[in-house]
Chain A
């Protein structure tokens, strides 16, 4: 039985991939990219989950054996920031494309040929 977390995360990645590959509008492609990144982050967090344990903050009543794996959380924190930076970069390029081409349809954005 596959854990519902893994299933959901992989499903999100595939939905995002589908949107990037199939959609014609640049903004929808970028939404797909964001969904994909979310799925990857969920997958990373669920890799570190240990059933029945709490957040890895050592405080009263929670010892080292009562916490989930803290490393994936550090990784996800980094990956989220990187994802946001990529999205911001992509959106500014999308604005530039709309200025120069007057369209966001990928089939009409074809000046570079060969």
Chain B
């Protein structure tokens, strides 16, 4: 099959979003099943792209409109993008299934449209090979995320959404200033072309524009000074959307950050920016874990835990070594699985028992054993206990950080992991050893999804090597800038 068909990854959610108002005529149920169908097809396409890229070992380059880059826009589906586009589609599919039960209050047609646009935006951010196109996809993601955060129409949801909009607005303005500076000095927007010219860019321009771009993306990626919106949005948004935020919207921001960082790695003064990102990531880990410790709402607690993990990924991606980036990508995959499981299970408790306050979790082991079991596996995995997947990725990150000479980062991150263990063990204790209750009927479909994710966690935990091989290729895709430039068929203009 022709590689250009991979553009369906962008086209399918967009076209399907336009068809939602038509489907609305068939009733509320129809829209929900339509959403499940579209995300299933998207997963199929993404699976095809994944197997194609990994079997041939060559990236798929989609050239928009037949104009070769840097004149036209190209999509670059390398090892990394293929892996994450697949994860985005798969998580969206699970959450579309979850939405059938979890969303029954408000206008479902708007929900379905925004859901598809969120998936589209994240896919586009990961796949694009053009700086301004990245901005556009980032804004598609962000605006659908603002709207979905406010979807429940409570005061809290509106408050969370407003915080997100204000921070996101500042962030995107800064990003655009960074893009303007880079364009002004290089005269190109294509990432491969930028990478080619990066060596000659003025040191001040490179540092300022890179700092502004990272500042802008840090809002989406929830790094420390700019993540105040995240716990509120996670708490107030509908449950499936929370899982999507944590599992891939953040990852798209992190990936874009890493890609732009390494594209400009030839520029002078680059190491300063990378070090800044390591510091921001470490602070994110510490602040996230300490804030999670004193939460009374389980969803908010897991939101803070998610922020802390993101900080760890940012540290790994900014180390500047191939080991670090592969470890970071490994952690991104593991974290997407674990947090999708945790938010799914916690959200399921929320819709069944009415709320995610910690009181609702008392005696959950007796009332909803399967859900409680899934939360337990997820919690144990996040702590990084051996034989679970996160252990291997945390281990790799710590080894990579030691290798890059950041011993103080390792010490702080490990200290934060102890804090993490405290609040997760407290949650597990609350679920299994306190409270009384009668057994409730658990939904079979959610049970199957949760068990699938649990099996994924344990299988990766016992056999990490196959996935490690995959993520090493994906990490190499980011670090190996020369290879990236070579893969994009640049037309010889300007230069």
Total cross-chain contacts (CB, 8 A):
104
* Contact between B162 and A43, CB atoms less than 8 A apart: no
Contacts of B150 in A (CB 8 A): 93, 96
* Contact between B232 and A40, CB atoms less than 8 A apart: no
Contacts of B156 in A (CB 8 A): 111-112
* Contact between A101 and B155, CB atoms less than 8 A apart: yes
* Contact between B165 and A111, CB atoms less than 8 A apart: no
CB distance from B307 to the nearest CB of A (A): 13
Residues on A lying within 8 angstroms of B by beta carbon are 13, 16-17, 20, 26, 29-30, 33, 36-37, 39-40, 43-44, 47, 71-72, 75, 78-79, 82, 85-86, 89-90, 93-94, 96-97, 100-101, 109-112, 114
In the bound assembly, the distance between CA atoms of A101 and B177 in angstroms comes to 35
Q: What are 24 A-B pairs at a CB distance below 8 A?
A: A13-B173, A13-B177, A16-B173, A20-B166, A33-B170, A33-B173, A36-B173, A40-B173, A40-B176, A40-B180, A43-B180, A44-B179, A71-B189, A72-B183, A90-B146, A93-B146, A93-B150, A94-B162, A100-B154, A101-B159, A109-B159, A109-B162, A112-B159, A112-B232
Q: Which of B36-44, B293-301, B318-326, B365-373 contacts A (4 or more CB under 8 A)?
A: B293-301
Question: Contacts A93-B146, A94-B162, A109-B162: A114 and B176 contacting too (C-beta < 8 A)?
Answer: no
Question: Contacts A20-B166, A86-B165: A44 and B231 contacting too (C-beta < 8 A)?
Answer: no
In the bound assembly, the distance between CA atoms of A37 and B232 in angstroms comes to 25
In the bound assembly, the distance between CA atoms of A47 and B184 in angstroms comes to 6
Contacts of B146 in A (CB 8 A): 86, 89-90, 93
Interface size on B, residues (CB 8 A): 42
* Contact between B162 and A37, CB atoms less than 8 A apart: no
* Contact between B155 and A100, CB atoms less than 8 A apart: yes
In the bound assembly, the distance between CA atoms of A39 and B132 in angstroms comes to 18
User: Which 7 residue pairs of A and B lie closest in terms of their CB atoms, listed nearest first?
Assistant: A100-B155, A96-B158, A47-B184, A33-B169, A90-B165, A112-B232, A82-B139
* Contact between A75 and B132, CB atoms less than 8 A apart: yes
Chief secondary structure at chain A's binding surface: helix
Contact pick for A112, options B177, B179, B235, CB 8 Å: B235
Contacts of B448 in A (CB 8 A): none
Determine whether B349 belongs to the interface, using a CB cutoff of 8 Å to chain A.
no
CB distance from A46 to the nearest CB of B (A): 9
Contacts of A86 in B (CB 8 A): 139, 142-143, 146, 165, 168-169, 172
Most A CB within 10 A of own CB, among B160, B170, B235, B294: B170
* Contact between A71 and B183, CB atoms less than 8 A apart: yes
B396-421 residues at the A interface, CB under 8 angstroms: none
* Contact between A111 and B155, CB atoms less than 8 A apart: yes
Contact pick for B169, options A36, A47, A75, A109, CB 8 Å: A36
* Contact between B189 and A89, CB atoms less than 8 A apart: no
